[in-house]
Amino acid sequence: MPFKDWNLKATWDAAYSIGAEGDTGHPNTRAEVRLNYHRKAMLPVCQARAAGIAQALGWSAPGPSIIIVGAGFGWTAEALEAMGFTRVLGLDVSSYIQSNKGGTEETEIDAKIVAVGLDPATGEGQTIKGRLFDGSVRTRAGRGVLNEGGVGGASRGRIRQALGLAGNEDADWGLSESVLESLTDAEATSASSVAHQFCTNVAHYIVTLRDGNQPGYNWKSLEDWKLLIPTDTFIEAGTHRML
Amino acid sequence: MALPVTISGAGMPGLNYFCGPFKSSGNNFYCVLAEAGTTPEVYKATDPTVSFAAQDAANNPTTQFQSMWAYQVADILHIVTQEATAGGADVRYHTFSMATDTWGTKDEEIEIPAQAPNSLTEGVSIALRSNGNVIVLYSGDTDSIMGTAWGRCDYARKVGSTWTVGVNVGGQALEQYHVAGSVVIGASDRMHFFWRNGAPADLMHRSLSSADALDTAVAADLTTGGDPCRGISYVSGSNTVVKVPYLDGDLSVSSVRINVSAADPTIAVDTAVSAVAVSVLNGVPVACFALDGTIVRLLYSDETTDDLWSDAQTDGGAWGTDVEELDAVNITRISCNVYDRSGSKLAYVYNDDGTVKYNEKSLAAAAEIPFLVMAPPQPAMWADA
């Protein structure tokens, strides 16, 4: 069993809590508006990830064909596309992601603004809402985020088709995005094996063992992940160090 | 009485700090320390070679702090603290009048981080613009990304009575751990922020204009060993020079140097300013800069013996030879300043094996200056006094 159930919104909310007013600050008479796994807060993270991963793996646009496993709402795929990469596909089997990828964040962002004592319809609250919500849907990556796990020929066929690969052609890269930290060692090894069935190279973007890790995950050092799955490439969050 | 003088009952912060000493217009001398190592306390000496005494002790702030930084404007000491209690990291502002020897503002909330930083990564620093606006650099709220807390270096500004807080100088939503920090005022009220990005260990810089515009955050050094500490600035020709010491990757003190304070300045690094590795306390080097005209004075404690050493750099010159100032001591914190007390003195307050002491190094004795070539007063000497 995975350590975390990413089908639940509560799991995402517990893992992600990000100050959303750091660019402007806020009066100290109220708390900062904080978002969870929301686009405005996460896009800078995903842009930094995309740039760091591309540099670490030597990708240059329009680049290789890339499948992102555990893509969430696809913001890293979106960031790669913004960098000029043209063959990027996100996958995520989370029912929370699949149920919400086509909707907006408006209701949730309104609630976050109300939580700090402001009205999203007027005054300061309205201004903040204007900065945090642009009216569009969560998932904007060109090829979307598919509900595919790559297990079985049919699933792999749909993935290849969505990415524009011919026949049994493999993607150049399979990249898991903060996936392995929620899996047992056996599950992580198995996930790697599945990825190798339709990806020539497999890499994993990993938050490593460090101060500030919440309990309940499979935290390891980059070295220990490499030891567990020597065939794959590992990239450390933040430093973009690669093994 | 001979120096050093023990400041009885006082402690010094466990994290980032600047404690003075300071000289008032009334020719008295002050250190901002900790009463029994917990809450802020100001100690005064009319003659620092005799004794220091706590001032307005019945009314001192109640904040228990880890990090504390004091900044002098005329006879007011502006003080910022970051709380030490478990799970808390409250950032608070206080003032003390050296004219009346009384506390003014006490325990004023700047921000109470909702998700407190790791207690060993707290840090505060403070400076004031010429119009009185207060600028505070501090370790703010953490961001949780993929089940992991990442530290933010924030700044706050007080305009009138209003605080705007939580401006993230490191950049929005990063999988990096930023730790405050040291702020130095440059040209035209520009605030130069220096802080550490702990993963990787970069020394970062970003500056804030008097119109509250931030320039670009850049890494000044990619291989630091710890935090920046108290720096200085002075006017050189038509430019304002900013220099800040920090713990380098080889555990020596290096210095960031900005020869022209401006937006997105050119930043140079003078490496290995200290000849040896320095003592470190919770990531903060036991080192401090003080300004002597346009000469930068460094005091530091060496890692091997915890003895006290000094060095100096003239404007545009190189760092000199390290000189041992105190032997057979165990110095774990140091804070220094330059002022005139019967001649120019490098005055310093320090923790020697658990005891806080005040001491001085004579830089130029007034009686020894030939009367026919006596130099005029140098305003820069008071720039940070």
The predicted-structure confidence for B42-89, as pLDDT tens digits, reads as follows: 999 999 999 999 999 999 999 889 999 999 999 999 999 998 777 788
Chain B residues in contact with A55 by the CB 8 A cut-off are: none
Dmax (CA) for chain A in angstroms is 61
Q: What are phi and psi of B166, to 5 degrees?
A: 75, 30
Asked if residues B319 and B365 have their Cβ atoms less than 8 Å apart, the reply is no
Q: What are phi and psi of B69, to 5 degrees?
A: -140, 135
Taking residue A10's Cβ as centre, other Cβ atoms within 10 Å add up to: 11
**Residue B116: what pLDDT?**
83
Reported as a pLDDT band with limits 50, 70 and 90, residue B368 is very low
Chain A residues in contact with B164 by the CB 8 A cut-off are: 25-28
Distance of CA B150 to the CA centre of its chain: 24
CA distance A12 to chain B (A): 8
Chain B residues in contact with A15 by the CB 8 A cut-off are: 144-147
Put simply, the answer to whether A44 touches B110 (Cβ < 8 Å) is no
For B103-126, write each residue's pLDDT tens digit. 999 999 999 988 888 877 889 999
Asked if residues B302 and B274 have their Cβ atoms less than 8 Å apart, the reply is yes
Asked if residues A209 and A219 have their Cβ atoms less than 8 Å apart, the reply is yes
For B322-350, write each residue's pLDDT tens digit. 999 999 999 999 999 999 999 999 999 99
Tell me the residue range of the domain where B181 lies: 5-382
Q: What are phi and psi of A39, to 5 degrees?
A: -60, -45
Radius of gyration for chain A, computed over Cα atoms and rounded to the nearest angstrom:
18
First to last CA, chain B: 25
Put simply, the answer to whether B145 touches A16 (Cβ < 8 Å) is yes
CA pair distance B155, B170, nearest whole angstrom: 10
Q: Is 60 exceeded by the pLDDT of residue A13? A: yes
Reported as a pLDDT band with limits 50, 70 and 90, residue B198 is confident
Chain B residues in contact with A22 by the CB 8 A cut-off are: 152, 154, 166-168, 172-173
> Three-state SS for A72?
coil
* Mean pLDDT for all residues in chain A: 96
Put simply, the answer to whether B144 touches A15 (Cβ < 8 Å) is yes
Q: Is 80 exceeded by the pLDDT of residue B382? A: no
Q: Is 50 exceeded by the pLDDT of residue B370? A: no
DSSP A115: H
For B280-293, write each residue's pLDDT tens digit. 988 899 999 999 99
Determine which helix (DSSP H) or strand (DSSP E) holds A89, and give its type and residue range: strand A88-91
Helical ranges in chain B per DSSP H = none
CA distance A200 to chain B (A): 27
Asked if residues B199 and A239 have their Cβ atoms less than 8 Å apart, the reply is yes
CATH number for the domain spanning B298: value is 2.120.10.70
Place of tokens 């005064």: B44
For A117-140, write each residue's pLDDT tens digit. 999 999 999 999 999 999 999 999
The Cα angle at residue B102 between residues A29 and B140, in degrees rounded to 5: 30
Topology (CATH) of A43-105+139-236: Rossmann fold (3.40.50)
Name the more confident of B223 and B147.
B147
* Mean pLDDT for all residues in chain B: 91
| A23, amino acid identity | D
* CA B241, B247, B249, B253 torsion-angle sign: positive
Contacts of A87 (CB under 8 A, 6+ apart): A62, A63, A64, A65, A66, A163, A164
**Residue A90: what pLDDT?**
97
What six digits make up the tokens of B132?
A: 């009185």
**Residue B174: what pLDDT?**
84
Nearest alpha carbon to residue B6 among B362, B350, B360: B350
CA pair distance B361, B382, nearest whole angstrom: 17
What six digits make up the tokens of B24?
A: 């008032």
Interface of B to A at Cβ within 8 Å reads 109-111, 114-115, 118, 140-152, 154-157, 162-168, 171-177, 199-200
With a threshold of 0.90, does the pTM exceed it?
yes
DSSP A231: T
| B185, amino acid identity | I
Put simply, the answer to whether B114 touches A32 (Cβ < 8 Å) is yes
Put simply, the answer to whether B165 touches A28 (Cβ < 8 Å) is yes
What six digits make up the tokens of A19?
A: 């100050």
CA distance A153 to chain B (A): 31
Put simply, the answer to whether B167 touches A24 (Cβ < 8 Å) is yes
Reported as a pLDDT band with limits 50, 70 and 90, residue B199 is low
Put simply, the answer to whether B147 touches A27 (Cβ < 8 Å) is no
Lowest mean pLDDT among A43-52, A101-110, B107-116: B107-116
Asked if residues A150 and A91 have their Cβ atoms less than 8 Å apart, the reply is yes
What six digits make up the tokens of B162?
A: 């209003």
Identify the closest residue of chain B to A29 by CA–CA distance: B163
For B129-181, write each residue's pLDDT tens digit. 999 999 999 999 999 999 999 999 999 999 999 999 999 998 877 888 899 99
**Structural domains in chain B (count):** 1
Put simply, the answer to whether B163 touches A27 (Cβ < 8 Å) is yes
- Alpha carbon separation from A179 to A116, B112, B268, B293, B302 (Å, rounded): 32, 33, 41, 57, 45
SS3 labels along B45-105: ECCCCCCCEECCHHHCCCCCEEEEEEEEECCEEEEEEEECCCCCCCEEEEEEECCCCEECC
Q: Is 90 exceeded by the pLDDT of residue B16? A: yes
**Residue A63: what pLDDT?**
86
Contacts of B162 (CB under 8 A, 6+ apart): A27
**Residue B84: what pLDDT?**
73
For A176-216, write each residue's pLDDT tens digit. 999 999 999 999 999 999 999 999 999 999 999 998 999 99
**Residue B333: what pLDDT?**
96
What six digits make up the tokens of A53?
A: 């991963």
**Residue B380: what pLDDT?**
40
Reported as a pLDDT band with limits 50, 70 and 90, residue B37 is low
Domain boundaries, chain A: 43-105+139-236
**Residue B385: what pLDDT?**
32
> Three-state SS for B226?
strand
Reported as a pLDDT band with limits 50, 70 and 90, residue B2 is confident
Rounded to the nearest 10°, the torsion over CA A42, A217, B121, B164 is 30
**Hey, is the C-beta of A15 within 8 angstroms of any chain B C-beta?**
yes
